[in-house]
């Protein structure tokens, strides 16, 4: 039995991901330009799945109701229709252009500083802006 799978190195080598639309797996797959088949279960997963579909980066199936044939069709779609991979690659490029954790930390520091009593408003910084999936 495998106790741990090195997900990030693996994502650089796979052609598609099938998952429950957890935010981390979806973002990590899209970072690598990998299209998805998502089967949301609960909480934020239906929202994340909807964003994947709206971006054109994957296909949604119904958890617990999809048949093996239906799952195979969804997987064939993301593997063989170039639009899904192209959309996943576009989203991944936007993630990388946004600057990652360092840019997020800088932004949070500016927000925190502006929230301090008597602090001036934050000065906008030049650079790329990530567009949320729902706006694509």
Q: Is 130 part of any domain?
A: no
If one counts the domains in the chain, the total is 1
pLDDT at 135 exceeding the cut of 50 = no
Range of weakest confidence among 7-21, 32-46, 96-110, 122-136? 122-136
Q: What are phi and psi of 60, to 5 degrees?
A: -105, 135
The rounded distance, in Å, linking the Cα atoms of 25 and 5 is 13
CATH code for the domain in which residue 30 is found: 3.40.50.2000
Confidence band of 78 (pLDDT split at 50, 70, 90)? very high
In 24-107, DSSP assigns E strands to 36-38, 58-60
- The pLDDT confidence band at residue 134, using thresholds 50, 70 and 90, is very low
Does residue 131 belong to any structural domain of this protein? no
Please indicate, yes or no, if residue 71 is contained in any of the structural domains.
yes
């Amino acid at each position: 039995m495998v106790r741990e799978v090195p997900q990030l190195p693996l994502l650089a080598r796979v052609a598609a991901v099938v998952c429950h639309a957890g935010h981390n797996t979806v973002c990590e797959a899209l970072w690598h330009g990998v299209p998805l088949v998502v089967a949301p279960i609960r909480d934020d997963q239906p929202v994340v799945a909807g964003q994947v579909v709206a971006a054109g980066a994957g296909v949604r199936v119904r958890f617990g109701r999809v048949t093996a044939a239906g799952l195979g069709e969804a997987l064939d779609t993301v593997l063989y229709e170039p639009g899904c991979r192209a959309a996943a690659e576009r989203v991944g490029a936007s993630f990388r252009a946004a600057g990652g954790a360092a840019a997020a930390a800088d932004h949070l520091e500016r927000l925190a500083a502006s929230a301090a009593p008597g602090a001036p408003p934050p000065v906008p910084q030049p650079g790329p802006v990530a567009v949320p999936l729902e706006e694509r």
